[in-house]
Structure formats: C-alpha cells, structure tokens
Amino acid sequence: MQRGWLYSSMLLADGNRQIPSLHLPGDLAGEAALAWAQAPFALTAATDAVVHVIDKVVFRSLFERQPRLAMLLHALAQVERVALSDRLASIGRTPAKARVATLIVDALRRLRAYGGQTGGEFSLPLTQEESGDVTGLTAVHVNRMMRLLVEDGLIARTNGCICVLDEDRLAQIARPIDRYQTIDTRWLPPAPAG
C-alpha cells in the first residue's frame, strides 16, 4: 500500500474484535489471504488510502521467475511473524500503559522507516475503540492510559495528533524486549547487477 492507514481485524462470536495488525505505507497488506479461498481477516481503511492491488496469480509467476524476490518475500513474512509475536508478548505480558505506549512508538517508528516521517509528531487515525482492539483493552482504559502518558510528559495530544516528547522513555515503558534484530541476508544469492 502507498498512503494511509489500513488495519486487519477479526470478529469473535461474542462481538468482540481484535486488530492483529496495522498496515502503513510500504507494507504488504492482506497477504494472509494467499492461503485461503476466503480472506481470514477483514481489511478496513482507517483513513483515505491509496493501495496497489496484486492478484494471486502474480505471486505464482513471481515464484517461478524471480526466486530471489520470492525468498525476500518469504523472509519478509518471517519478519512479520516476529512482529506479531512481539505484539503477543505486549498484550500477554505487559500492563495497559505499556501496551498503549507500544502502539504509539511502533506506529511512529514504522512511519519513519518508510521515509515519510521525521519528527516525533504524527496523526493517529484510530478511535480509542480501535486502539483498544489493537491493544486488547477497552476504549475507556485506552483513554486513561493516554492521559497517564500525557501526565508523565511522554506525549502530547491535540485532536488526533500525537507528539512524542520523550521517545526513549516511552520506548522503555513500551517494549522491554531484548532482541538483536540484525537482518541476515547472507544465505541469499547475490543481487543481480544494477
């Protein structure tokens, strides 16, 4: 996708909803649909968005003609698996304040990674209900946690925009996972010239 925010979501029988992942510009969204005839998640646009649609058949020819690209694609899937596991740890093993902090730091850093973002201020186009579905909290509790983060001087808020004031401290609250995330491509064949 190229611009805007999407998210995938799944509905539980009791009406609860979980948002397993946010899709920001530069991401490949909805790839999980590859393996199923019916998409396993709903995809929702949180803002106006510009996406590029890829047909399943394109994947097939990519695997047949571009093995190196296919490998990279597969490696990317592993990266996303680890990202999902991180989120799992966040929801399963950290308190509410940390989860909200995680949501904010993650979004900021991913916006930066794509290149469009430089400072600490960005628009978070999710309702608190949606933020709760990401973090496994209720909207009310998301609200309270954000207020705490503001009171701590870690972030500032003005209608939908979030300004991260102390990213280090926020990140420290957010995700205390130790990991050495060096991407390893040495097992891949050399890139073609050019």
Partner DNA sequence: CGACGGCTTGAGAATACTCAATATCGGTGG
Partner DNA sequence: CCACCGATATTGAGTATTCTCAAGCCGTCG
Residues forming the site for DNA (CB under 7 A): 95-97, 127-129, 136-141, 143-144, 146-147, 157, 159-160
Cα–Cα distance measured from residue 74 to residue 76, given in angstroms and rounded to the nearest whole number:
5
Please report how close the Cβ of residue 168 comes to DNA at its closest, in angstroms: 22
Q: To the nearest 10°, the Cα dihedral for 138, 88, 11, 43?
A: 110
Edge-to-edge strand list for the sheet holding 161-164: 121-123, 161-164, 155-158
Please report how close the Cβ of residue 16 comes to DNA at its closest, in angstroms: 8
Q: To the nearest 10°, the Cα dihedral for 101, 11, 76, 100?
A: 0
Q: Is 140 in the site for a copy of itself (CB under 8 A)?
A: no
Q: Is 4 in the site for a copy of itself (CB under 8 A)?
A: no
Site residues (CB under 8 A) for a copy of itself? 8, 10-14, 16-18, 20-21, 31-38, 40-41, 56-57, 59-60, 63-64, 67-68, 70-71, 73-82, 84-89, 91-94, 135-136, 176-184, 186-189
